[in-house]
Amino acid sequence: MLNEIKLLATCFISIILIDFIWIGLIAKKFYTNQMSVIGRIYDGNFQPVLWAAGVVYILLSIGIVYFVLPKLEFNAGPIPTFLIGALMGFVIYGVYDMTNYSTLKDWTLILTFADMCWGGVVCGLVTMIARFVRDFSAS
């Protein structure tokens, strides 16, 4: 149980940091342009509902710890580790993005595909971090 809590915390913190770097710094202009009509953007900055964002990060962490990591052997290589995590992220973000594209008139197709790819990348990277922590803790 303690190991699961450590893995959940590792995933949660990693997702926050990686997502902030991507959305808050690297791709900020892209996301603010794409979501200018529908986003919680004030003076060019995202102002998300923090508790809701926290729930998203918790849910992604649970998915990685309970659905992705158990599929990975100890000391699995970085490529299979990344790919299985990326698949989960692509699916989860895909459901979200395709639902938005199908129901929101100002949700763009480029945002849909960019965000689905981002979901794959962030979940793949976090899975790599979590697998390293899991395997290091077990040795």
Say what percent of the chain tops pLDDT 70: 99
Cβ atoms of residues 113 and 90 within 8 Å: no
pTM of the model: 0.93
The answer to whether the beta carbons of residues 84 and 68 sit under 8 Å apart is yes
How many independent structural domains does the chain possess?
Answer: 1
Nearest to 124 by CA among 94, 93, 79, 92: 79
pLDDT tens profile 52-108: 999 999 999 999 999 999 999 888 899 999 999 999 999 999 999 999 999 999 999
Q: 138 pLDDT exceeds 80?
A: no
Q: Which domain holds residue 13?
A: 2-138
